[in-house]
């Protein structure tokens, strides 16, 4: 089995955004190739297109959750409710580690500071940001959930 935590780190440190890194770490479960996974998750990096809203690593975690446990019957309220319960459980588990699922709060930025231009991925970038650890923690939270809730 793939070490998803380590794979998320590798993907993030090779230049993928946080959502791509987490979602892409689970290609063994989704059956997607990394290029497809990266495209699906590409809009969610930097807290949704660098708007610093919901953390991309958390969005990546939710994308995996939907792919593995999601529903496809829009009329089945019971199944929808159970899925939303899972989403909220993962969010709470992530917040137990990082106190928030909001990108700008995790980065200690003010709203409006982000812009749409991605930061250069330099050694200083990786050293100054918690994003690598956040991607790894999102994968660890998801792995624990999957272990406790086999498909």
| Separation between Cα atoms, residue 55 and residue 31, nearest integer Å | 24
Q: How far, in Å, CA of 95 to CA of 102, rounded?
A: 10
pTM reported for the whole predicted model: 0.94
Residues whose CB is less than 8 angstroms from the CB of residue 25 and which lie 6 or more positions away in sequence, other chains included: 2, 4, 5, 7, 8, 11, 60, 139
Which runs of consecutive H residues, i.e. helices, occur in the chain?
Answer: 4-13, 18-24, 27-30, 34-41, 45-48, 56-69, 77-98, 103-107, 123-128, 131-148
Buried b (16+ CB within 10 A) or exposed e, 78-114: eeeeebeebbeebbebbeeebeebbbbebbeeeeeeb
Q: What are the pLDDT tens digits along the chain (151 aa)?
A: 689 999 999 999 999 999 999 999 999 999 999 999 999 999 999 999 999 999 999 999 999 999 999 999 999 999 999 999 999 999 999 999 999 999 999 998 755 566 788 888 888 888 888 999 999 999 999 999 999 999 8
What is the reported pLDDT for 118?
83
């Amino acid at each position: 089995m793939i070490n998803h935590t380590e794979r998320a780190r590798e993907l993030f440190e090779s230049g993928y955004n946080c959502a791509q890194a987490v979602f892409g770490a689970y290609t063994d479960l989704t059956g997607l190739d990394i290029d497809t996974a990266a495209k699906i998750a590409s809009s969610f990096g930097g807290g949704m297109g660098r708007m610093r809203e919901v953390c991309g690593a958390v969005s990546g975690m939710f994308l995996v959750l939907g792919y593995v446990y999601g529903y496809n019957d829009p009329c089945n309220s019971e199944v929808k409710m159970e899925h939303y319960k899972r989403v909220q459980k993962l969010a709470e588990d992530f917040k137990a580690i990082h106190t928030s699922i909001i990108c700008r709060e995790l980065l200690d930025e003010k709203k409006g500071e982000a812009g749409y231009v991605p930061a250069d991925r330099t050694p200083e970038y990786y050293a100054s940001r918690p994003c690598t650890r956040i991607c790894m923690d999102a994968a660890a939270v998801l792995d624990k959930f999957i272990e406790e809730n086999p498909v």
